[in-house]
């Protein structure tokens, strides 16, 4: 078991996995705009012209507070994120995952 799991995943709020595993069980930060990545050439990061075709979000399960606080502190010139989590996201989803094992 781990204390925190962080994913950068496509924003697909219409899917069953989003409703089942993300919407009420994780802290979510939507990333504004389409994300591009750097390609490493000769030890230097060269910006790739193409970007991800859909929006992405940081999804944090577990002890999200240190990461949430860090993301909130970043200037929008570095990364523009919008928090859209449920009213109360628990710090330790272990109970949720344990209950899922009993159902299966």
Q: What is the DSSP string of 17-49?
A: HIIIIITTTSEEEEESS----EEEETTEEEE-S
Number of domains in the chain: 1
* Domain of 35, in residue numbers: 4-103
- Mean pLDDT across the chain: 77
pLDDT computed for residue 43 by the predictor: 66
The pLDDT-based confidence of 10 (bands split at 50, 70, 90) is: very high
Per residue in 54-87, pLDDT (tens digit) is: 889 999 988 888 888 898 898 888 888 878 765 5
Percent of the chain with pLDDT over 90: 10
Question: pTM of the prediction?
Answer: 0.69
Range 8-27 burial, b when 16+ CB lie within 10 A, else e: eeebeeeeeebeebbeebbb
Distance CA 15, CA 22 (A): 10
Q: What share of the chain is helix, strand, coil (3-state, %, to 5)?
A: 25, 30, 45
């Amino acid at each position: 078991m781990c204390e925190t799991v962080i994913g950068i995943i496509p924003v697909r709020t219409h899917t069953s996995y989003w409703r089942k595993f993300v919407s009420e069980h994780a802290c979510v930060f939507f990333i504004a705009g389409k994300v591009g990545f750097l390609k490493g050439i000769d030890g230097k990061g060269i910006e790739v012209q193409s970007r991800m075709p859909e929006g992405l979000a940081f999804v944090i399960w577990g002890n999200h507070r240190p990461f949430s606080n860090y993301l909130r502190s970043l200037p929008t010139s570095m990364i523009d994120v919008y928090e859209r989590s449920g009213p109360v996201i628990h710090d330790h989803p272990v109970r949720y995952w344990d209950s899922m094992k009993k159902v299966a």
